[in-house]
Each structure stands twice: as structure tokens, then as C-alpha cells.
Structure 1
Amino acid sequence: MSEERICVGVLGGAFGVAGEVRLKSFTAEPEAIADYGPFETEDASRSFDMQIVRPVKQGFAVRLSGVRSKEDADALKGTQLFVPRARLPQLPDDEFYHADLIGLAVMDTGGAPLGTVRAVLNHGAADLLEITRPGSAQTALLPFTQTIVPTVDLTAGKIVVEPPEGLFD
């Protein structure tokens, strides 16, 4: 598990004309992202050192090593940044990295299977679990709260949920 890489941010393209790049941080303390570098692309073909220049709407303007122009920065739009899990802090028992939740089986409190965690989304208010339902192309969005998700068992590879009425009918 220590060799696993975790996505800690995504680049949003150029910010200005001097090679600065817009960054959205996925770390609990967004500005702490710079402490975890150097960063690699998903395919590990490129590596970057990072310096946060200033906060901007929904993220930061950053300088990345090897990125010198607006064109270089624009070419990185949508690039996810990864670091080895070992560089990240250990989490308390009731906190999880999104990567740990993806792929876990989801079942109700009676043990009936409801699906699998496809993604963890956050659109500003709170985390949502996107659940792939067996035998269906549709997914369900489940708020990731203590009330609705009372048990996360990483060792057993499952999440026990008390979904709102009608969500999985």
C-alpha cells in the first residue's frame, strides 16, 4: 500500500501569460498540497516541483518546474497530480482518502448488496458517494455522512449504509 499513489490535485490550465497554472487542491488543507511534492502525472511520464503563487477563485495559481509559458500551462489543463501515499499524513480512524473508498462494496444494514463505490464527489457542500448499482447503468448519489454511512470497513472492503428512503428502490 505504501507504493500506491494518491491524486492530490488537478491542473486547470494557464493563469495569466507567464506560465502560471491554475490548481485545484484535493487535500484537506488545500494550501498544504505544496508540502507533498514533487508531483507526477497519472502515467508518471512527467514530474513537477510546485510553488504556490497566490490563491485564486476555486484554487491557487502555481508555478510548476518546466512550465514557462501560457502554452505550456494550457497543455496541462485537466492533468491530475499524484504523490506516493507515504508522503501524505496518517489519517484518524474516522477519515479516509477518496482513493480508499473507490471500489468498496456497499450494503445496507441488513447485509443486502446495493452496489460499489464508483467515485467520491464534492461540489462544495459535502462529499457524495457515487454508487454503481448492480445490473443497472444508473448510479446513485449518497451523502457521505456518519448518519447515512455508519460503517466503513477498509479491511473487509465494504461500506454499510442507511440510505434515505426510496434511493435504492
Structure 2
Amino acid sequence: MSERLVLLGYVAGAHGVRGALRVKLHNATSSTLEPGVALHLRTRGAGAKEGAGDGDAGEIKILSRFAPKPGSDMVRMWLEGVDSREGADALRGREVFVPRAALPEPEDDEYYLDDLVGLPVVREREGGEPESLGTITGLSSNGLQDLLVIRLRGAEWLLPALPVFIVAIEAQRVVVDVHDDMLPESR
């Protein structure tokens, strides 16, 4: 069984003529993508499925990396086996994944959004049982913020992954505080 992979960003394009890549990261301050780390490049939309699929370039080691400029989410890096602009251009649009084990463990009051996938979502009700609002089935983004994709009885709804909505993560469930108008009508 392959280990779980976590999405960190995507290849935005080539930089220069010697095979450097421009990689847009979801967290540009992350120290995860350092020289020697093995990453996976997958065709956009292939996801973090186990094993190498048709869209997986396999495991590739980072040779070197330049930190992003202040205020930028773009890094430049060189990968093993990519030594020309054409080789780098061929990887444009690929999503960049690393094994979950390569990430540092979060602090007690922190979590990785990827770790929430598969957890049930509930809303506390005064004096009663928590209301089930579905299960987190994936992650998305609207360009401004990360979104939790939640499936409830055949309908999907999106919840911004913000502290104002995520009250707690406890007992393998996500407790949220949301208004009824944010929920799917079919609930």
C-alpha cells in the first residue's frame, strides 16, 4: 500500500533554459520542499490517489530550491532528471504532492486540512444531540480561501476553512458553527 500524499501546490511553468520550475505553493513559507525531498507530480485533477497512475510522473527528488520573494507564493526549484526548458515546460500544470510523513506534525491546536478529509461534520444544538451536516470528502479553493467539500445525503456544500466556522476538531469529528442558509436545501 502506498503512503498518503498531500497536495502542496502546482507547477506554474519553466524558469530559464536549464530546467528550473516555477512552483506555486499553497504555503510558501513551508520548509517541506527542501533539497533531497521526494515529491510526486501528477496531472491536475488526478488527486492524491494511492499508487502511480497514468497522470503520475512518479517520485522525483528536489535538487535545489530558491525561497520565494517576500509576498510571493512562487518558488523556483530544480528536480532530478529535469535539465532543459522543454522538460520543465512538459511539467506545467502538474500538481505537487509529498508523502504525509514528510510534513512536520502539527501542534496540539493546529491541523492540516488534508487530515480532515473523511471526518464527519456536526453542529452543536443547545440542549440536544449534535446535528450531522455530512462528511468532508475533499478540499477546494475559491482563490481567496481554502474550502472544505462536504457531502450530505447526496448533496455537496462548501464551507470556508476559517476559524469563525470551525469551532473544534474533537473525537474524530469537526464541530462547526454555520447558519442554515449555508447548508444545502436538501438536508
**TM-score range for the pair, normalised by the shorter chain length:** 0.7 to 0.9
Structure 2 counterpart of 1:52: 65
Summarize deviations over 1:31-90 as a string: whole Å, max 9, x none. Answer: 552267122345272322242236365411221121111221122123233333333212
Aligned to 1:46, the other structure's residue is in SS state strand
Tell me, yes or no, if the aligned pair for 1:36 and 1:87 is still in contact at 8 Å: no
Structure 1 counterpart of 2:149: 130
Aligned to 2:138, the other structure's residue is in SS state strand
Matched, 1:71 2:86: yes
In 1: Cα distance, 2:36 partner to 2:150 partner = 30
Task: Normalising by structure 1, report the TM-score.
Answer: 0.77
Matched, 1:15 2:15: yes
Aligned to 1:72, the other structure's residue is in SS state helix
Which one-letter code corresponds to 2:177 in the other structure? E
Unaligned runs of 5+ residues in structure 2 are 43-51
Further displaced range: 141-150 or 91-100: 141-150
Q: 1:69 to 1:104 in 2, by over 3 A?
A: same
Tell me, yes or no, if the aligned pair for 1:53 and 1:63 is still in contact at 8 Å: no
- Aligned-pair distance for 1:151? 1.7
Further displaced range: 100-109 or 36-45: 36-45
Q: 1:79 to 1:141 in 2, by over 3 A?
A: same
Tell me, yes or no, if the aligned pair for 2:36 and 2:61 is still in contact at 8 Å: no
In 1: Cα distance, 2:30 partner to 2:39 partner = 15
Summarize deviations over 1:88-126 as a string: whole Å, max 9, x none. Answer: 212112211222111221121132221222333445644
Q: What do you get for the CA RMSD once the two structures are aligned?
A: 2.9
Matched, 1:152 2:169: yes
Identical columns (%) = 31
Q: What count of residue pairs does the alignment treat as equivalent? A: 164
In 2: Cα distance, 1:29 partner to 1:36 partner = 18
